[in-house]
Copies of this chain bind each other. A is one copy, B any other.
Amino acid sequence: MIDAVTIKDVKLQLGELCKQKRQSYEMSQEDLAEALDISRYTIQKFENGKNATLDTVLKIANHFDLLNNLYQALKDIEKSNDINSLY
């Protein structure tokens, strides 16, 4: 039970993932901001684990082709709930 993932942990990890994906595409924060038509400062804050809006997070996820995965994951959670309700 090395559990207890906090909200802060998730936000930091989201930022890390953004940074890693961005760098794998050899994009600067400026490049990504331009591509998504949002400010570099928003990217900057997000990559450093600060709070953000869902729209910002999903724009970034979309740009790195993670939207389908996310959507499917949500559907799976929903489905697993349905299954549990049968027992």
Contacts and interface: CB of A to CB of B under 8 A. Distances in A.
Interface of A is mostly: helix
Contacts of A81: 20-21, 24
A48 to B, nearest CB: 13
Contact of A54 (B20, B53, B69, B77): B53
Contact of A57 (B13, B20, B54): B54
B74 A17 contact: yes
B70 A10 contact: yes
A20 B83 CA distance: 13
A23 B78 CA distance: 12
Contact of A53 (B24, B51, B67): B51
Interface of A: 3, 5-7, 9-11, 13-14, 16-17, 20-21, 24, 51-55, 57-59, 62, 66-71, 73-75, 77-78, 81, 84-85
